[in-house]
Amino acid sequence: PSPVFRPPLLLLPCFFSCSFFVYSVVSRCMPPRTPKKKKVRKPMLLDTLQASMEEETERRASQSDEFSVLAKLNTQYVIVFTDETESWANDLVRCSRTKYARARPLAMSRFPDGTLNGQIVDIDRFRGRNILYLASFSSYQRRYDDFAALFTLSTASHARSITILLPFFPSATMERISTPGTIVTAHFDAFLFDSLPAPANMNRIIMFDTHTLSLKHYFSQRVAVDIASAIDAIPKI
């Protein structure tokens, strides 16, 4: 058999040197490579939906000077009121226009049989806002209207929080049982407040000068009760 040709090992360095030389010459003659453009991620459906919701919120907020401020700062309150408590809303706005903003008054009317026919105007603009509701228990009809409006706000406004300002709690002194069978109206009113849905897991109620601190114990943990006093402000009036 014919002998197998085996190149001497000394020729290997020459082979590698020639290969490197050819590669360097060819690479210099070739045009430079352009870097690939990075692919821009297209917005997902959820991102597009969120952006459109934010644009719609800003557009609606810009329709009113008061709500345009509330769109930027979420530490302020939108005052919701009826015709009876409109003067209170005006006083709060005069005290601090940067903290309070008026909503439009609730449209409260009656059907011929006396049933409530109410409407919360612009309720879609309360989304994500802190609501301050001015309640008035001056009569049983007003009390019913307030609870109906508060229930609608709690379930349909998607508000961030709801604070109820109740200057006068007429059933506060009816908080004890003197004889068996006594109807404790203060306990019943507290039960109605507890039954309201809470957007922020807890509604807040501010009352003035009830003179019955035990009234707080009728409320459950779903309601934060603040009993304030205006006696210190009487000498200044």
- Whole-model pTM: value is 0.65
Question: What pLDDT, on a 0 to 100 scale, did the predictor assign at position 187?
Answer: 84
Cα(167)–Cα(87) distance, integer angstroms: 13
Quick check: 131 pLDDT over 90? yes
Quick check: 72 pLDDT over 50? no
Residues 6+ apart with CB under 8 A from 113: none
Question: What pLDDT, on a 0 to 100 scale, did the predictor assign at position 175?
Answer: 72
CATH topology of domain 73-233: Rossmann fold (3.40.50)
Cα(107)–Cα(53) distance, integer angstroms: 27
Q: Tell which wins on pLDDT, 125 or 36.
A: 125
List the one residue out of 188, 216, 213 whose CA is nearest residue 204.
216
- How many residues would you count in the chain? 237
Where residue 8 falls among pLDDT bands split at 50, 70, 90? low
Question: What pLDDT, on a 0 to 100 scale, did the predictor assign at position 179?
Answer: 85
Task: Give the model confidence (pLDDT) of 18-61 as tens digits.
Answer: 666 666 665 666 666 666 555 555 445 455 555 555 565 555 54
Where residue 184 falls among pLDDT bands split at 50, 70, 90? confident
Pick the most confident of 4-18, 45-59, 118-132: 118-132
Per-domain residue ranges of the chain: 73-233
